[in-house]
Homo-oligomer: A and B are copies of this chain.
Amino acid sequence: MPNHQGSLDRVFHALADPSRRGIVERLARGPASVSELARPLDMSLPAVLQHLQVLESSGLVVSEKAGRVRTCRVEPAVLRAAESWLGAQRTAWERCLDRLDEVLTAGPADLAAGGEDQP
């Protein structure tokens, strides 16, 4: 799945920057214009626009222009895709631990049963 892989590359790359995560956190509370997003950030408007471009190219943020105002919002499906990948790895690891636990729990009991040689 090269497209899906490439998309996760871009999503995780976009999230590796604290300013971009800040923008996502702000947009998760509701859509905002570019100037609303820029206001609390200690950086130039071109820098904000550059971060937004990285977020948009990852699909995490979509924007729409109405007149002179560009409004941005998060794309929950993209957040969910990254969350699902992480969840799948965590679940696989937990299953691995469960299997280890079963082996460790069953092991001594089996040995004991074998040793006692009960009917």
Contacts and interface: CB of A to CB of B under 8 A. Distances in A.
Interface in A4-46: 5, 8-10, 12-13, 15-18, 21, 24-25, 27-30
B86 A86 contact: yes
Given A9-B17, A21-B8, A28 B89 contact: yes
A47 B89 CA distance: 23
Contact of A13 (B13, B25, B86, B87): B13
Contacts of A21: 5, 8, 85
How many copies of this chain does one complex carry? Answer: 2
| Consensus secondary structure, chain A interface | helix
Interface of A: 5, 8-10, 12-13, 15-18, 21, 24-25, 27-30, 74, 76, 79-80, 82-83, 85-90, 92-94, 96
Given A5-B21, A13-B13, A29-B92, 8 more contacts: A10-B16, A27-B93, A28-B92, A28-B96, A74-B93, A76-B93, A82-B86, A83-B86
